[in-house]
Amino acid sequence: MKEQFISSQFFGHIKAENHLKIFQKIFDNSLLLSKIYAHKNLALGSSFIDLTLASLLMYLKTNAILITGNKRDFPSCLFDTLSVLNFESKEGNIRAIGIVAFNQAKFDRCYKDLQKLES
């Protein structure tokens, strides 16, 4: 059952021969995003994993979205919130799950601001 779900059309698979080529770009994107987060005072609490996921969304641009329970790791200055799913946990608490996507135009504005700061 799990294998069928993962092999469905909803998941893109990175071929083994490509993953090392992609890794450097993901790493570079992570570093750039961390600079933008710091410039926007959003760096607190962003882990390596959060930055890696954000940079993967950046790399895949319009071909990927992320479902997350922690939207604050994907700030609105760079990411669009496409939808919010609410559900009730077993304990009776209501939880919100965000669906986010990278926004190239927002990134371009942030990157331009960062370049001004660095020059």
Higher pLDDT: 8 or 62? It is 62
Is residue 94 in some structural domain?
A: yes
Spatial distance between the Cα atoms of 24 and 30, rounded to a whole number of angstroms? 10
Is residue 10 in some structural domain?
A: no
Strand order in the sheet with 79-88: 66-68, 94-102, 79-88
Task: For residue 90, give its domain range.
Answer: 18-118
Is residue 81 in some structural domain?
A: yes
Is residue 1 in some structural domain?
A: no
Residue pair 54/32 in contact by the 8 Å Cβ criterion? no
pLDDT at position 87 over 80: yes
Is residue 67 in some structural domain?
A: yes
Is residue 13 in some structural domain?
A: no
Is residue 3 in some structural domain?
A: no
Residue pair 98/67 in contact by the 8 Å Cβ criterion? yes
Is residue 56 in some structural domain?
A: yes
pLDDT at position 39:
87
**pLDDT tens for each residue of 1-38:** 677 777 777 666 666 666 667 888 999 999 999 999 98
Domain total of the chain = 1
